[in-house]
Amino acid sequence: MTTDLDGAFAAVAERVRASTVCVHDARGRGSGSGIVWRENLIVTNAHVARGERAIVETRDGRRRRAIVLKRDPSRDLAVLEIEGDNLGLAPVTIRDADDLRPGELVLAVGNPLGLVGAVSAGLVQRCNGRWVVADVRLAPGNSGGPLADAAGRVVGVNSLIARGLALAIPSGAVADFLGTLGRHVTRA
């Protein structure tokens, strides 16, 4: 028997899953996750999108080619534009990570080890402007996926694991990286 809280959290996780895609290297050198930032605009890690092109795969298996519009290996960020028809993907809602407090519940969504749309949850340990640090479980394939708060608002892009903790690039840094491509971060 599930509680109302379980059902509410599962609904939030499902919303975030709907805005998470799999990003495949166009040359077959690996894959990771991506976030539907805007309708045909995908944010991921630079170490996931290494070349000029990538393949974006939705949860239902639809695949589209994508062009890497901007890439910054020093910040480990890349933004892709999906080619062709609109896939009808739901963009995420963004929250400024600067508003996070230690102890807040967060969830990570991604495609680790071939598990499409896997969800893990944990608590924010700290947010220092460079990283959102949380005790969520990440594995290869989670890179580039969303770290979201308990309301489903994306606060960061999962990037790496250090000493057993997940490190995500804060949403404000992503908005700065996107620059003229669009900034729509909401305050909590």
Catalytic (active site) residue 24: no
Q: How far is CA 38 from CA 20, 25, 77, 88, in A?
A: 12, 21, 16, 11
Picking from 84, 105, 97, 90, the residue whose alpha carbon sits closest to that of residue 159 is 97
Beta partners for residue 127, in sequence order:
132
Q: How far is CA 168 from CA 12, 34, 58, 62, 165, in A?
A: 19, 13, 22, 27, 10
DSSP helix/strand/coil, 148: strand
Q: Which of 76, 120, 149, 171 is catalytic?
A: 76
Q: Which of 19, 31, 33, 143 is catalytic?
A: 143
DSSP helix/strand/coil, 166: strand
Q: Which of 47, 96, 98, 135 is catalytic?
A: 47
Residue 144: left (phi > 0), alpha (psi -120 to 50), or beta? left
Catalytic (active site) residue 176: no
Catalytic (active site) residue 47: yes
> For the chain, where are the E strands, in sequence order?
20-25, 31-38, 41-44, 53-57, 63-72, 77-82, 105-110, 118-127, 132-134, 146-149, 154-162, 165-170
Residues identified as active-site: 47, 76, 143
